[in-house]
Structure formats: C-alpha cells, structure tokens
Amino acid sequence: MIRPTGIDTAAANGNHGGRPPAVDGDQLAIALRRRDANEPVTSIARRLGVGRSTLYRTLAAYDEAVATGWD
C-alpha cells in the first residue's frame, strides 16, 4: 500500500493519529489516589469531568497492566 509522505513523516515523529485518551496520566494518578481512599468511582469521574464508564475502563486497563507486570 502506498501511503502519502505526510503520514510517513508524522509516524516517524511518533504521531500515529487517532483520538487522544480521555484520561491522561495526571488524571489517572488523581483517580488512583482517590480510589485508594475509597471514594466512589462515580464521584471521581464527576470531579475529573469524564464519564463513569470511561473511568472504569481506564482503571481496569491500569489494573491489568500492573497485574501483568507492564506499566
């Protein structure tokens, strides 16, 4: 498949396109601290301005990464 030069250049610079994550690293750190303090996920999501299901998915992905030794 022939790709346009702009896409190759962007990929070489580490930009692979797509939607940015809804929860960034700082927000994840905040969510983890609040979860460790037994704050409900609904309350954490509201304070961070993200959806509850988004936060549940993000926390589950983090927990899985930690469990498999990849973080």
CA nearest neighbour of 31 among 67, 56, 64? 56
Asked if the model's pLDDT at residue 55 lies above 80, the reply is yes
Q: Is residue 2 part of a domain?
A: no
Provide the pLDDT for residue 15: 82
pTM for the structure as a whole: 0.73
Domain coverage including residue 68: 22-71
**DSSP state letter for 29:** H
Provide the pLDDT for residue 71: 53
| Average pLDDT value for the chain | 90
Provide the pLDDT for residue 5: 78
**DSSP state letter for 3:** -
* Total domains present in the chain: 1
Provide the pLDDT for residue 8: 82
Q: Is residue 38 part of a domain?
A: yes
Q: Is residue 1 part of a domain?
A: no
> 12 versus 42: which is more confidently predicted?
42
Q: Is 22 exposed, middle or buried, given 0-12, 13-18 or 19+ CB atoms closer than 10 A? A: middle
Q: Is residue 30 part of a domain?
A: yes
Q: Is residue 4 part of a domain?
A: no
Q: Is residue 6 part of a domain?
A: no
